[in-house]
Amino acid sequence: MGSSSSEVRPLSDEWRRSHFDYREPVLGQNLTATLRKMRQECPVVHSDAHEGYWIVTDYEDVLKVAQDWETYSSALGISIPATEMTLPAIPEHLDPPEHRIYKRLINPFFTPAKVAPWEEPTRALVTRLIDDFIEAGSCDFQKDFARPFPGLAFFELALGAPLDEAERVNALSTAAQEPGNPQAKALWGELVQWIKDFVEQRRSQPPKGDVVDAVIKADIDGRPIEDVEVWGVIQLLILGGLDTTSGALGQFMIRFAEQPEIPALLRAQPELIPQAVEELLRLDSPFAGVGRTAACDTELGGKSIKQGEKVMIYWASANHDEGEFGDADSFDINRRSNRHLTFGAGPHRCAGSNLARLNLRVALEELTKRLVDIQIPEEAKPIRFHSVFSRAPLSVPITFTPGPRLGTAG
């Protein structure tokens, strides 16, 4: 091997070709351009960072890895993304057939029909959050809307947990996942304790017939589910929708400020919002990439991958692949085929995509209607992102024309 990653300038040609580090701080602001170069130069490339791993950036190969779970395992000691998380991520870190048992348990609670009745309370929540800043004509969109919204919605509607606890859990999970946070271990510990207490509480209450009850009572191949499995499933359900949904909303708002014709179009034709959500999710995928481990020697994109080697697939890159999407970097509301991979593909495809779509649609309906002339003040640019697998801006200060509060019935 040549020089080590520490001697090479981040984002340089050599860094991309041999030392790519998905946690490199400057990558956060330069992700789309860097991934474009990687797709063009070498869509399957090896890096010596993180004890060595492969990075896959083109659509076809990302899809192949995601679908071929027998070759690319989710269960063999995943180290990407690195995390101090102590509970098992179930079903994320399992392979079929075991994986299916848990997925079948949660899937029925997040179908389009199951989440549809949540639309009205979701809109009331969105209205209340916007009411809190609409008169001021400015806010930090990330702090005031994008971060609290998905947690509050999930706690109230899916978990039936108290809303003030959602704020604490949200803050804990954000801080625990901050790259290099020295307190990460302690914060994960606090989060796990909250989950254990919550499950205990739910066990002592009459059943509500929701996903929590289904998990607590689950039969796993003829035996009762163990506590650690219950906690692991609940943790993934809570965390799965927090950073992802808030990262999507934050990125959408940055795009709205840069391309005001998009919110103007959606204000004039709100019936386009569902397809706009898909196009925005393609352009600004918040779950940027994820790891797998080769279960056997294999070949991908002309490269030999050895059994046990780590492979990172970049959804955020596949979604900009010109081979799959014409004029891939542009917002095109009339795009004919939009087979984006923002919710993944294969057995691990997102369990919460219907809920995420509902949340994003309702949020955009209310935001585009009520926030006019959205701008990001010059002093707030460039917007900063942590460079991790989850792509969420840290803060999105915006200004807009002040408007009236609407209030809610509840």
Closest distance of CB 92 from ligand HEM, Å: 4
Q: Is 348 in the site for ligand HEM (CB under 6 A)?
A: yes
Which residue bears the tokens 């509060």?
A: 405
Residue 64 touching ligand HEM (CB under 6 A): no
Nearer to ligand HEM, 17 or 357 (CB): 357
The two beta strands, 72-73 and 310-314, are unpaired
CA angle 245, 395, 15 (to 5 degrees): 85
Kindly indicate which of the ranges 7-15, 232-240, 269-277, 294-302 contains the residues binding ligand HEM, using the contact rule CB under 6 A. Answer: 232-240
Q: For residue 161, give the 3-state DSSP assignment.
A: coil
Piece of 32-40, 137-145, 239-247, 259-267 that binds ligand HEM (CB under 6 A): 239-247
DSSP state at residue 210: S
The nearer residue to ligand HEM, 54 or 400, going by C-beta atoms, is 54
Q: Token pair 């207490």 is at which residue?
A: 197
Angle at 209 between CA 203 and CA 213, to 5 degrees: 35
Q: In this structure, are residues 324 and 293 in contact, taking their beta carbons and an 8 Å threshold?
A: no
Q: Does 20 bind ligand HEM (CB under 6 A)?
A: no
Closest CA to 313 of 24, 79, 65: 65
Taking CB under 6 A as the binding criterion, the range among 112-120, 235-243, 260-268, 380-388 that sits at the site for ligand HEM is 235-243
Identify the CA nearest to 83 among candidates 388, 288, 310. Answer: 388
Peptide bond preceding 382 in cis form (omega within 30 of 0)? yes
237 binding ligand HEM? (CB under 6 A): yes
250 touches ligand HEM by CB under 6 A: no
- Which range, of 121-129, 170-178, 284-292, 304-312, touches ligand HEM by CB under 6 A? 284-292
User: Residue from 81, 263, 344, 393 that binds ligand HEM (CB under 6 A)?
Assistant: 344
Instruction: Give the span between the Cα atoms of 283 and 342, in whole angstroms.
Output: 9
The residues in 309-328 that bind ligand HEM, with binding defined as CB under 6 A, are 315
Q: What is the distance between the alpha carbons of residues 371 and 369, in angstroms, rounded to a whole number?
A: 6
Q: Does 157 bind ligand HEM (CB under 6 A)?
A: no
Summarize as ranges the residues that interact with ligand HEM (CB under 6 A): 66, 74, 91-92, 103, 110, 236-237, 240-241, 244-245, 248, 286-287, 290, 315, 342-344, 348, 350-352, 355-356
